[in-house]
Amino acid sequence: MTVGRGEFVAVMGPSGCGKSTLLNIIAGLDRPDEGTVEVCGQRIDGRDEEWLAKFRRRHIGFVFQFFSLLDGVNVAENLILPGILGGLRRKAAVGRAQELLDLLGIGGLGSRLPSVLSGGERQRLAIARALVNKPSVLLADEPTGALDSQGSGQVLDLLRVLHASGQTIVMVTHAADVAAGADRIVRLRDGRVAERLCG
């Protein structure tokens, strides 16, 4: 399976077919049993954990279905902390955080705790966090799975805007209407690519 730079690919298939495992392999969180994995022109299979951690900070943004936010700190700090870990000075991380909050339509929520946000706002924050270090590839695992139809539509619109700006996106979803927003749909079955469709 190949994903081109700037492409938006949706991955679909029945539960247990390997969709989330595929994202984890692309991110270097899981290791493949066989074959090779190349991301941004670099082989990542067989690398040690320290190398993979640095690679992820520079090239991979990950959006999880259930947000995985830091509920003990405010919205802005949820973005500032990963920015600092990614090598930004605090002032630059604060600026990047506000830029993303404004871009994603939640610019006035920086001082609030994530727990008081709506589901759609929390997912927007999770996407902003994934974008803090300007990743080459954005991986999204069921980004609309925990949202109602309105929140799902907002997140899908946001992904389309990011894609239009050149962001490479690989998204796992069960929802056909969400997958239809991608350039291409890849269907998995039993850990293998079963079908490729244009979106």
Summarize pLDDT for 157-181 with one digit per residue, the tens. Answer: 888 888 999 999 999 998 888 898 8
Chain Cα centroid distance, residue 88: 20
Instruction: Quote the number of domains for the chain.
Output: 1
CB count in 10 Å sphere of residue 171: 27
Residue 2 lies inside a defined structural domain of this protein: no
- Asked whether residue 3 is domain-assigned, the answer is no
Residue 27: inside a domain, yes or no? yes
Choose among 177, 159, 172, 167: nearest CA to 11. Answer: 172
Q: What is the pLDDT of residues 49-90, one digit of tens each?
A: 999 998 998 899 998 877 788 889 999 999 999 999 888 999
| Domain presence at residue 1 | no
Within-domain flag for 165 = yes
Percent of the chain with pLDDT over 90: 56
- Domain of 174? 8-198
Query: The domain that contains 77 carries what CATH number?
Result: 3.40.50.300
Q: What are phi and psi of 170, to 5 degrees?
A: -120, 120
The strand pair at 8-12 and 137-141 is best described as: unpaired
Residue 149 lies in a domain: yes
pTM: 0.88
